[in-house]
Amino acid sequence: MFVSAYSTISHQASFQRHGFSAKLTALSAPSEVVHPDYASLIPPMYRRRMTDVLKMSIACTMDCLAQVSVEQPGAIIVGTSMGCSTFTQRFLDKIYAARQGGRISPTSFILSTHNSIAGQISLLLGNHNYNMTHTQNSVSFEQGLMDAMLHLKDGLDNVLAGGADEAINALYNIHTRLGVENIHPSSGASFFLLTAEAKASPTVAVIDVESHGLISDAPSLISTFLQTNHLSESEIDLVLYASSFRTQVSELTALFQAEQLFDYQSISGSYLTNSAFAMAYGVDILHQGDFPFRDRQIRRILICNQVIPENIGLILLEAKTG
């Protein structure tokens, strides 16, 4: 499975700036999404009522399709943990306001469902194909990516897959579960156009993806994942990891050298589908071939997402030439 296009909106200048991985730095203070000018990307009648998670997702979609001149993806797959949080909260406010009776406008209800991201993309494109939404908290994106991989094996092509979430004030305390008080809740969307054949050279292949829930032994799952792909730990040039607990870093240092490890969450900020950002970041690094934070050539990247410690997402990326 090849990544023929990638697009990401984050709290740093990443949208339509391929090569961004060399320029981004660790987020230190609370920050905001660096939004592109949506006017050129989303028709006004759609844009008007959209909240961040919808706008970001659609902008990334349009960018991906434009990069490879594909009009209709063979499938549209979205991973989102919290979905359309803003509309959900807005509708709760409306219910509360109308608690003594009175009519409630349905607009925020109909856009509050998790699948309104994928649904709005299909509407905008007039796309009648497979349309799926995975919502497994911190591994929602990995579940979607697995779905995409199965479809490519089944003969579908040009599969659009992405991960997106938006932070809202009322959700900030979810981060207590993540144990990341020092990392600020963030938002982001990252989308990919995935193909069975490489559309350009050099390119990046997604070699494998897995996710596991309610785990007890992350290191053995990581080792097994690498063995399945005939690799040893030392053959991984860079491990992009996200973790919040010191114990997990020590789990990783038991397998990898310190210079192999890099915490992607310091760049993306904290949200439950930030492994999609990690994939865009990883693809971008592989396109450059090097990474300013490490003095080595990067050909193979493992994304190791334990944003929620009892769940693990593993994505293996490899640069391909010729």
Partner 1 sequence: MDIFVTSIGLVSAAGNGIEENLLSLQSGRTGIQQSEPSGLMLGEVLMSNASIVSSYQLPPADYSRTTLLGIVAATEAWGSSRTVDSSLRTGIVSSTSVGGLDRMEAYYFEGKRANHQQTHPMMTHDNGGTTEHIARALGISGHIGTISTACSSGANAIMQGARMILANKLDRVLVGGVDPLAHFNINGFRSLGIYDPAHCRPFDASRSGLNLGEGAAYLVLENAESMKRMASQPICRLTGWNNSTDAYHQTASSANGKGAALAMERALKKADLTPSAIDYLNAHGTGTRNNDLSESMAIRRIFGDQIPPFSSTKAFTGHTLAAAGAIEAVYCVLAIEHGSIFPNLNFATAMEETALIPATRSLNGQRLQHVLSNSFGFGGNCSSLIFSNL
Residues found near partner 1 in the complex (CB under 8 A): 76, 81-83, 88-89, 91-92, 94-96, 98-99, 103-106, 109-116, 118-120, 122-123, 125-137, 139-140, 143, 146-147, 150, 153-154, 169-174, 176-177, 211-216, 310-311
How do beta strands 312-320 and 75-79 pair? unpaired
The distance of closest approach from Cβ of residue 321 to partner 1 in the complex, given in angstroms and rounded to an integer, is 29
Question: Given the complex with partner 1, which of 12 and 274 has the nearer CB atom?
Answer: 274
The distance of closest approach from Cβ of residue 299 to partner 1 in the complex, given in angstroms and rounded to an integer, is 27
The distance of closest approach from Cβ of residue 114 to partner 1 in the complex, given in angstroms and rounded to an integer, is 4
Is 306 within 8 Å of 248 (Cβ atoms)? Answer: yes
The distance of closest approach from Cβ of residue 72 to partner 1 in the complex, given in angstroms and rounded to an integer, is 10
The distance of closest approach from Cβ of residue 213 to partner 1 in the complex, given in angstroms and rounded to an integer, is 3
Distance of CA 85 to the CA centre of its chain: 17
- The helix or strand, by DSSP H or E, that contains position 55, with its residue range, turns out to be helix 52-68
The distance of closest approach from Cβ of residue 128 to partner 1 in the complex, given in angstroms and rounded to an integer, is 5
The distance of closest approach from Cβ of residue 288 to partner 1 in the complex, given in angstroms and rounded to an integer, is 33
Tokens coding 206: 């997604």
33: three-class secondary structure by DSSP: coil
- List b or e across 226-257, with b for residues whose CB sees 16 or more CB atoms inside 10 angstroms: beeeebebeebbbbbbbbbeeebbebbeebbe
Question: Given the complex with partner 1, which of 112 and 186 has the nearer CB atom?
Answer: 112
Question: Given the complex with partner 1, which of 96 and 100 has the nearer CB atom?
Answer: 96
Question: Given the complex with partner 1, which of 126 and 322 has the nearer CB atom?
Answer: 126
- List b or e across 86-123, with b for residues whose CB sees 16 or more CB atoms inside 10 angstroms: bbbbbbeebeeeeeeeeeeeeebeebbebbbbbbbbbe
Is 188 within 8 Å of 10 (Cβ atoms)? Answer: yes
The distance of closest approach from Cβ of residue 264 to partner 1 in the complex, given in angstroms and rounded to an integer, is 21
Give the residue from 284, 282, 276, 261 showing the smallest Cα distance to 307: 276
Alpha helices in 242-299 (DSSP H): 246-253, 265-268, 274-288
The distance of closest approach from Cβ of residue 104 to partner 1 in the complex, given in angstroms and rounded to an integer, is 4
Distance of CA 278 to the CA centre of its chain: 7
How do beta strands 75-79 and 159-165 pair? parallel
Question: Given the complex with partner 1, which of 73 and 269 has the nearer CB atom?
Answer: 73
Tokens coding 70: 């594909």
Question: Given the complex with partner 1, which of 11 and 114 has the nearer CB atom?
Answer: 114
Question: Given the complex with partner 1, which of 139 and 164 has the nearer CB atom?
Answer: 139
Question: Given the complex with partner 1, which of 15 and 141 has the nearer CB atom?
Answer: 141
Beta bridge partners of 194: 3, 159
Residue 172 contacts by C-beta under 8 Å, 6 or more apart in sequence?
185
Task: Write phi, then psi, for 197 (nearest 5 degrees).
Answer: -115, 155
| Residue in the block written with tokens 């949506």 | 38
Question: Given the complex with partner 1, which of 279 and 308 has the nearer CB atom?
Answer: 308
